[in-house]
Structure 1
Amino acid sequence: MIVDDGNQRLSARAACLGVAGGLRSWPPLGALALNYHADASMGGWRSWPVFRSEVGRKLLIGAGAAEFVADKLPWTQSRLAPRIQWSTLDTGLFGRVALVALAGAALGSEYGGKYSVAKGAFFAALGAILGNLGGYYFRAVADEATGLPDPAVAVVEDAAAVALLNATVPVAMAVR
């Protein structure tokens, strides 16, 4: 019999959070900010300055929501581009992985183990790379196969990101 002391659950949650972040980089932090007041969220991340601040939480939520729109703009760069594109809140590939690793570290802080924060960051970063590449190829194939415009296909990707976020960081309460 395998006993799960939380490590397997953390790995799975962080990897799913990472895949969602690979699809859309800001929403994982936005989902945590939305979940700040939930009784189930007892992680150390709640004491991080950006989450303690109501303004910080609203900015994270706003950035997450804005990315769903910015992703569909014609001048948004490829998700594989390494550089930051400030006009669309696009952090580039490296920034995307870093943002998601930060969200994974926050998730890891809920587990209290000696390496939980690092483990959450690692599995989230790994998931972000996989989600980023998977999302890129999904859209390329789906655009060609369906003939639909890219923004229409991107909505399917949005739905997948939201579903994964809801599975890993269920939003129990709105920001107060």
Structure 2
Amino acid sequence: MSKPRRTALTTVGAAIVAAAFAVGTTTIVAPEVVERAYGVVQVTVAKVVNSVALPEARLGATGGQRELDRFDGTFTRMVAYDREGVPPVWAAHNNAGGDVVLPLEIGDEIVVMDAGGTASIHRVVDVRVTAKSGVTSEELVGLGGDVALQSCFFGEPRMRFVGLQPVDA
């Protein structure tokens, strides 16, 4: 192997090792930075995919944190949010199907599958972003729509609530 080729391969190899070290160190020292960057990529890709086909959310069990933590790819009807002036809230972890909520904006449409498998198209009519902790259902009073989907942002202490209204057939 020629010396210039060996030098080039050594340089490329060193750059790969340095990049791997930087990524590994960042993952250990600041995992929220990595998670946030991952979330940005996920949302960007979802926006492109959503321009071709409607996103889909599947509704599942009713309950609380225990049901939500099953990570079964469905949204859980969160009874803790039940309050006058707040539509029924269905939540899913962002890494268990909930990320479908993150790119949605007012006017976007989404297919909602109920627990029985019936699909209906809903339009986003309202969006709320709240803190991830210390939030009460009082902050959701007046959220538009007949139903709301909720998930957390990747690597951020915030949640996104999307109010949905069924689209007339």
State if a TM-score over 0.5 links the two structures: no
Structure with the larger RCO, 1 or 2 (CA within 8 Å, 6+ apart): 1
TM range (shorter): under 0.3
TM-score with structure 2 length normalisation? Answer: 0.28
Give the greater-gyration-radius structure (CA). Answer: 2
Which has more helix, going by share of residues?
A: 1
Which has more strand, going by share of residues?
A: 2
